[in-house]
Each structure stands twice: as structure tokens, then as C-alpha cells.
A and B are shown apart, each in its own frame.
Chain A
Amino acid sequence: MNIIENFDLYAPRLVDKKEYLCSGHRACQGCGEVLGLRLMCKALGPDVVIANATGCMEIISSMYPSTAWEVPWIHVAFENAAAVGSGVEAGLKALRRKGKIADRDVKVVGVAGDGGTMDIGLQALSGAMERGHDMLFVCLDNEAYMNTGIQRSSGTPMGASTTTSPAGKVSSGQKTWKKNVPEIMVAHGVSYVATACPSYPLDFINKVKKAMKVKGPSYIHCFTVCPTGWRSPSEMTIKLGRLVVETGIFPLYEVEDGKYRMTVEVDQLRPIEDYMKPQGRYRHLTPDQIEIIQDRVYQEYNKLQDKINGLHAWSDLQYEWGLFD
């Protein structure tokens, strides 16, 4: 079903009109994660199999006997989306080689939240990427375990209050800095790694399309706003997704064969308060604490700039996957 008004007027050549993740699912109003998933599907098109980890997106899209999925989809458990995806890829590869299924490309896409990617799923993800499966893995990062009630993850940013890193009389929320998983993926020699956010839909769609073309593993870390978990107004979702980029907290970049490139340039970084203010999870922070976080944001941003300016692309031969197949 097409629910975009005046679609034909504005977007037919930019975005697939067809919905592969249908409306009627149970995501909260203003959920940025399901928007990310929906855009991802539009970019992927029909020739995919999705391996989804347990989490909000699995729960809201698949309550038996209904399903929101128009593309083949499998869910097994929380920490193993990358391993299940590996199996799907291996299965399709063998069946195709042996003439048991149609001889055409079908992309396997692993999908998990920040918990399912950065914490409990990191081992399976590392294994799958190291083995070089022809698989795109997309982390939908809403910076906490939302499905189980907003508990902290290693993707939760410093200072954010969650139900297991609560701000209290002697505590100011999350005590650790966000884990840099895209960097871990680059370290695996993954030839296409990118960050994205559904508030920049065309940037995101382009990245998914690029990743799809990679023969081998690719990774997209998609920042998604969760109004329920962040205690932010649901109508602010798109805005917050833009502010996180404009403040430099979550820059949008891609890494092709080790070569970094900013895909959305920000002329002048906005102060992080602009982004933090509308969110209940940051409400307890003092100006001093915000300043510490601000300094860190600048530092990380500069580190990224250094990589963009200083690192060259790998020579492609040694980094190609499947050379010894």
C-alpha cells in the first residue's frame, strides 16, 4: 500500500514507491527505528532475505499470525542474526550452485538493534564479517535495549539515563562512552562501512544501494531515534535525527576500502545542547557535564576528520573476498 501523499509528484525516481515493510505494525508513534527499516527495505528492493534479531523491530513486525514483511524474513534469537544470515547466505549459495533454486542474486541482510549488534551479537557479527559472507548487516541503533524497557547498552551515550543506568542522587546516568562499532567493522577489512540516519533518507538509501553491490560483507550503522526510550516528543524524531548530525555527535560518513569520506558535510557544528534539550534522558545533566561531553564530541569529530584526510584506499586485490573460492 502506498501511504505517501503526492508521491508521484515528488519522489518516484528517488525512492521505491512499493512498501516491503507494511503499515499496520505495532511500532510506537514517531519510531525512528521502524522508519529506518522501512527505508532500508525500499533501497534493497525485493531480492533479499532479511535475518532479524530479537528486539523492537522483530516484535512489532511479526506478531503471529500476522506479518508486516513482504520480503522473506527469518528471526531465530537475539544474539545470532549474523550467524543466521551466514547460514541463509550459505544455503542460497549452495542451492544456486547446485541448480536447486533460480540462478539470480539474492542479498542477505542481517538486521539488529544496538544490543543485538554491539553487545550480545558482536561475536556472531565479527565471525560473519571475518568469514566474508555476501551479507549486508544493518545495526539500527536507538542507544538502548528498548524492547525490554530501555536498559543501557554499549551504544548508550555518556550521561544518558536509562533504566539500568539511571540518573540518581549520586549518579548521572550512563558512565561510559559509546562503543565505535563502525570502526571495529573497518578493522575487519569490511570493504563498505557507513553510518546513516533516516532523517537523511536519500543518503541512507544511497548507502544501502552501495552496500548491496558489494560482493562480500558490508555494514551500515543507522542511528535511529526512539521517542519512547529517550522521552522525546514523537514529532521531534526527524528533527533529532538531523540535530545529532548537525552537532557532530553522529557524523554521516562512509568507508570504502578503507577510504573515509563524509557524506553529509556540516559547515558549523551546533552546540550539543540543541540536540540534548528535547530529550528526557539528558535532563539531569549539569552544564559542566555537558561541557565534558561537548569536548569529547569535538575530539571524536577531529579524529574522524584526520581519518578522512589521512587514510588512503586499500589496494583492492588483497582485500577482495572469495579469491580462493
Chain B
Amino acid sequence: MAKRVGMEVAIAAAEAVGMCDIDVAAVYPITPQSHIAEHLSEIVADGRTDAEFVTVESEHSAISCVAGASGTGARVYTATSSQGLMLMHEILPIVSAMRLPVVMGIANRAVSGPLNILNDHSDIMPQRDNGWIAMFTENGQETVDLTIQSFKIAEHPDVMLPCCVNIDGFQLTHMVEPIEFPDQKLVNKFLPPRKPYATLHPDKPVSMGTFAMSDIFPEVMKAKDEALKNSKKIILGIWDEWEKMFGRRYRPVETYCADDADVILLTMGSMGETAEIGINELRKKGISAGLVKLRLWRPFPFEELKQAVKKAKILVVTDRAVSFGGPGGPVASEVRAALYGEKERPLIYNQIIGLGGRDMAVSDFVAMVEDAVKSGEKGIIKDYEFYGVRG
């Protein structure tokens, strides 16, 4: 067993990238991603990883730069947050359509305005439909593991899609946590060099990113959708391999006390750990509560989610972003769509929580569940609420 070390999670994310033999990284600093950028540049500056570290002049150029580098067959990485991710937005669907296996760390942060540097998921949610694999990490260990796995997933010949690892800004990136780094030799075995499908090189010239009219464009979109859906199978296989080699198990949906629960709370990201303690307290009070944590956001794990909540009467879905003028939060909207066709499905209460870094205590999760149970008993249906928000 490898030794555990105490390390800031952002630093650990950069260390994980440093274990993956990347060829090119292009990053532009933004809070709370900057520790990833800084530490990765240190790793390269010390020669611990042989890579080109391109200090681009914007996030738009960061994603464009790694796209170009990925086109040459290089293994590439970038990281960003919030406004930086919004600036990349234009390029994200191009990267997936070009089937470039770019890996990106996202230190999730609220988007302006008003300007706010603290954590929520309003940066990643507008990127939902760009054809990227998207995962959420709950703690430092997951951040390290998922980062390493991402390269293997993205570069798999049956996937060839970009992949982003969402790490809650500050609440996770800036925590010092105990982390067990996998053995470098085993990582090398787990993650062999990239074998690109085609590369930009005069030995075998190809044209990448060509123009497409309506006679072929819909087929490209369908292919992207199918590739993303099919990637789940590959992700599961890679997680099995990881478990065999490193002993830690990953699934698209994790459950905690959920098997027999009447009321289930659903979280995504680092709040899962706080919510777990909330479930313990609820159980102590005699409420049959459980927790479901979504790790895989895209491809969306429909089957796993249905299985996880099928016996529950009430489902409290938490969201860290708002779909303004729409159905509440994007996670709840997805969950509702996933369960709509089910004969038996729980009542769904959507709570929009922790916007712009608003703290969520154990007692908040307890209160949300208790409120949902009461509402359920009285037959009150609420589409969504801004939990604990004044006005």
C-alpha cells in the first residue's frame, strides 16, 4: 500500500497530471484553478515531467492550443474555472466533434455577475451539451484518481472524446486532504502512451476540422452522441481495471444507506461528504434517509440512477446552478427526465443550494430532507426552491 500524504487538493490534481506523461499543457490562471496551473508549471520547470507548458494569453487560446497539440498526437491537459470556462465555451463542442482527447480540470466556481470567485456549478452547467465526458469528484483522492483515469478514458480508441474533471473550487481545491498517490510504475502500466487515430504530420497528411453542410452535419452530431453514450461502457471497464490495480472502486452513481431509504438526497461534487453526515443524523432521528451521489454527469447514467432511487418515495435533488426561467436546477431537470417513464417514481423536490459559495452545514441537509418529508406527507409539490435564500 502506498503511503498517504496530506496535500492541498489543487496541488494533488497537478501532481496527478504530472504522473501521466503529458506532452503539452496550456493554462491561463484564474481563481480557484491557479494552484493547479502554478504547481503544474513547477513540475515541468523541475523536469519531473517532460512537457511543453504554454503560457497562453487567454483561456480561449488555452483550449485552442491544446486542441492543436492534441491534433499532433500529443497527450494534453488544461485547467480552468468560471469565466475562463465561459471563454472556452465556443471551442468546447469543436474539440469533441474533432474527437480530440483533451483532458481538463475544472475548479468549479460561480460565473459573474455579480463577480464571485466562490464555488458552485454555474460554470460547468452551460457546458453540459458540448459533447464532453464530465465527472465530479468528491474529495482529494477521487480528484487524483479521476484525473489519471481521464486520460485513459478520453484516449480510448472507442471513445476519443474530451473529458473534464470537476473539482469544487475552494471547498475542495483548497482543502488539505490525506491522499494516497498510486505507484508511478503501476500508473505507467495503467496508462500507456497515447495511440492517436490520426495526427498532423507531413508523413501522412490529413485535414482536421473541415467544413460540413447539411448532407453530413446531422450524421456527425449523431456520431458524437453515440460515442458519448457508448463511452459509459468503456468508463466502467476502466474503473474495473483501476479497482484491480489500485483497490479503489468507482461507479457512475454512488449510494449511501440508500437501499432501504424512503427519502433520498441527491448530490454532485464535494457536498456529498457533508450530506453523508446529515444522513447519519436523520437515521438517528428515525427517518429512513439515504444518499445518492452522481459522479458521472455526461454520459448521464440513466440506468444506475433509476436503480438507485427506485424504492424511494421522495427524492431531494440538490443543484448548484440555476436554469433561469426554467425548471429550477439542471440536475433536477435531468433526473426528472430520467425517471419520467418509470411506473413507480419518487416525488422530486429540487433544492438549489450553495450558490456563490454559500455554506451548507450538516443541519441544512437534515432540514431539507425533513422539509421534503413533511411536504410529501401533506401532498405539497414544490418544483424548486432556493434553499435558505432571503427575499
Contacts and interface: CB of A to CB of B under 8 A. Distances in A.
Interface of A: 46-49, 51, 58-59, 62-65, 67, 69-77, 79-80, 82-88, 90-95, 97-98, 100-102, 106, 123-124, 126-127, 130-131
B31 interface: no
A127 B60 CA distance: 12
Contact of A87 (B51, B55, B64, B202): B64
Contact of A76 (B57, B73, B94, B193): B94
Most buried by B among A46, A62, A86, A87: A87
B202 A63 contact: no
B211 A87 contact: no
A90 B73 CA distance: 11
Contacts of B7: none
A92 B200 CA distance: 9
A93 B56 CA distance: 16
Contacts of B24: 87, 90-91, 94
Contacts of A101: 72-73, 199, 201
B212 A64 contact: yes
Most buried by A among B94, B199, B200, B208: B200
A88 B71 CA distance: 7
A11 to B, nearest CB: 24
Given A76-B94, A91-B73, A100-B193, A127 B51 contact: no
A72 B205 contact: yes
A123 B54 contact: no
Given A64-B216, A76-B94, A106 B211 contact: no
B91 A90 contact: no
A84 B76 CA distance: 13
B73 A100 contact: yes
A88 B54 contact: no
Contacts of A63: 210-213
Contacts of A67: 207, 210
Contacts of A64: 210-213, 216
Nearest to A70: B205
A88 to B, nearest CB: 4
B68 A51 contact: yes
A46 B57 CA distance: 30
B57 A130 contact: yes
Contact of B65 (A49, A73, A83, A92): A83
Closest 4 CB pairs of A and B: A87-B68, A127-B57, A91-B72, A91-B69
Contacts of B23: 91, 94-95, 98, 100
Interface residues of B, number: 46
B228 interface: no
A90 B54 contact: yes
A303 B51 CA distance: 44
A93 B209 contact: no
Interface in B10-53: 23-24, 26, 50-52
Contacts of B56: 83, 86, 127, 131
A86 B68 contact: yes
Contacts of A77: 64, 90-91, 94
Interface in B79-115: 90-91, 94, 98
Contacts of A106: 201-202
Given A49-B201, A88-B200, A91-B71, A72 B206 contact: yes
A85 B23 CA distance: 16
B66 interface: yes
B342 interface: no
7 contacts: A72-B207, A74-B71, A86-B54, A88-B68, A95-B72, A123-B57, A123-B61
Given A82-B61, A83-B62, 17 more contacts: A62-B210, A72-B205, A73-B205, A76-B64, A76-B94, A83-B61, A83-B64, A84-B71, A87-B65, A88-B69, A91-B23, A91-B68, A91-B73, A93-B52, A94-B52, A95-B72, A106-B201
Contacts of A70: 205
Contacts of A75: 208-211
A72 B73 CA distance: 13
B70 interface: yes
Nearest to A46: B202
Contacts of A100: 23, 73, 193
A84 B216 CA distance: 25
A207 B71 CA distance: 28
Interface string B212-230: 1100100000000000000
A241 B91 CA distance: 36
Contact of A69 (B57, B68, B73, B205): B205
B209 A124 contact: no
B261 interface: no
B294 interface: no
Most buried by A among B24, B26, B72, B206: B72
Nearest to B21: A98
A126 B61 CA distance: 11
Nearest to B203: A102
Contacts of B73: 91, 95, 100-101
A87 B60 contact: no
Nearest to A26: B211
A86 B61 contact: yes
